[in-house]
Homo-oligomer: A and B are copies of this chain.
Amino acid sequence: MSNDTANKATVTTPSEREIHIERVFDAPRDRVFAAYTDPELIPQWWGPHGTETVVDVMEVEAGGSWRFVSRGDDGETAFRGTYREVTPPERIVQTFEWEGMPGHVSVETAQFEDLGERTKVVTTSIFHTPEERDGMLGSGMEKGMNETFERLDELLAR
């Protein structure tokens, strides 16, 4: 069984303001958690294929800020937020804001489930309004997310 078929993300919408994503990675939990929290590793996988991401700020602790600048085919853009909770290697809660729509802030909770040699990452995003949630779903998020997860597969396989 190749990774391409085994580790597909599932995207569901449990309420009108939420997006729920599950994805399995072929690596132990500590390594997956490190990929999410190490500023040296973020540029190696964060963003769709062809994206160059620069970590501008990344204070991985409760109350800390983060800001990533991404350069791709469409030019340069940036994302930012605040860490609400960082509980290694289990859980990260953070806000997420695209600077193209400043002040539209979602809250992302990522749970890292230990499956032995594999890890399931369960991410729930909650938006202020159904319209903001639908805007994210309509933005090509799923394609970008799948490419991002493929890049993370590649990093974890190295």
Contacts and interface: CB of A to CB of B under 8 A. Distances in A.
Contacts of A104: 84
Contacts of A97: 82
Contact of A84 (B95, B103, B126): B103
A93 B102 CA distance: 11
Stoichiometry, as copies per complex, reads 2
Contacts of A63: 99, 102-103
A102 B128 contact: no
A83 B103 contact: yes
Contact of A95 (B94, B99, B105, B129): B105
A81 interface: yes
Interface residues of A, number: 19
A19 interface: no
Contact of A107 (B81, B82, B126, B128): B128
Interface string A87-99: 0000001110101
Contacts of A62: 102
A80 to B, nearest CB: 10
Contacts of A129: 126
Interface string A115-157: 0000000000010110000000000000000000000000000
What are the 7 tightest A-B residue pairs by CB atom distance, in nearest-first order? A84-B103, A82-B103, A63-B102, A105-B105, A95-B103, A82-B102, A107-B128
